[in-house]
């Protein structure tokens, strides 16, 4: 399944080799409400760690999705174009946003582990 890390902005990244899948957490999708649209970056785009990688719009708000690591966008989840609600129903699975080839695996050390992320969310109330 690969190692999953989290950001304090509620993105997750699952790394397998030099490839990474990125999405938002259940906490984030719950805060957003019903997702109605996702805007993806262009394939081949180089994204820096913590830079904007995508945009998600819900009935409540629009929110940027930040890249947990630097890399090149190699795939976007086309299913979300027709079924953006997948983000709500399966945020950590079928509701992923982008896949990237990561450039600097050491950047992952700046991210939260699952336990650290759970503690962080608890602190938010």
Per-residue pLDDT tens for 64-111?
999 999 999 999 999 999 999 999 999 999 999 999 999 999 999 999
- Check whether 115 has a pLDDT greater than 50: yes
Residue 118 counted as domain residue: no
Q: Could you tell me the CATH number of the domain that includes residue 45?
A: 2.40.50.100
CA distance 57 to 77: 15
Please give the tally of structural domains in the chain. Answer: 1
Residue 48's contacts (CB-CB under 8 Å, 6 or more residues apart) are 67, 70
User: What was the pLDDT predicted at 48?
Assistant: 97
Residue 117 counted as domain residue: no
- The alpha carbon of 97 is separated from its chain's Cα centroid by a whole number of angstroms, namely 6
Q: Are 1 and 14 in contact (CB under 8 A)?
A: yes
Please name the residue that has the structure tokens 């602190």: 123
Residue 31 counted as domain residue: yes
CA distance 79 to 70: 24
User: What was the pLDDT predicted at 2?
Assistant: 60
- Residue (of 11, 81, 76, 80) closest to 44 by Cα position: 76
Residue 123 counted as domain residue: no
Residue 108's contacts (CB-CB under 8 Å, 6 or more residues apart) are 3, 5, 13, 15, 68, 69, 102
User: What was the pLDDT predicted at 1?
Assistant: 44
Residue 120 counted as domain residue: no
Residue 81 counted as domain residue: yes
Domain extent for 78: 3-104
Residue 87 counted as domain residue: yes
DSSP conformation class of 103: S
Which tens digits make up the pLDDT trace of 27-74? 999 999 999 999 999 999 999 999 999 999 999 999 999 999 999 999
């Amino acid at each position: 399944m690969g190692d999953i890390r989290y950001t304090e902005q509620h993105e997750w990244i699952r790394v397998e080799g030099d490839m990474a899948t990125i999405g938002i957490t259940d906490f984030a999708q719950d805060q957003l409400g019903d997702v109605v649209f996702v805007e993806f970056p262009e394939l081949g785009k180089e994204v820096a760690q913590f830079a904007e990688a995508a945009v998600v719009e819900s009935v409540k708000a629009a929110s940027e999705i930040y890249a947990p690591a630097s890399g090149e966008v190699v795939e976007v989840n086309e299913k979300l174009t027709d079924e953006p609600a997948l983000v709500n129903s399966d945020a950590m699975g079928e509701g992923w946003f982008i896949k990237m080839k990561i450039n600097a695996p050491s950047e992952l050390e700046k991210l939260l582990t699952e336990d650290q992320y759970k503690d962080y969310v608890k602190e938010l109330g």
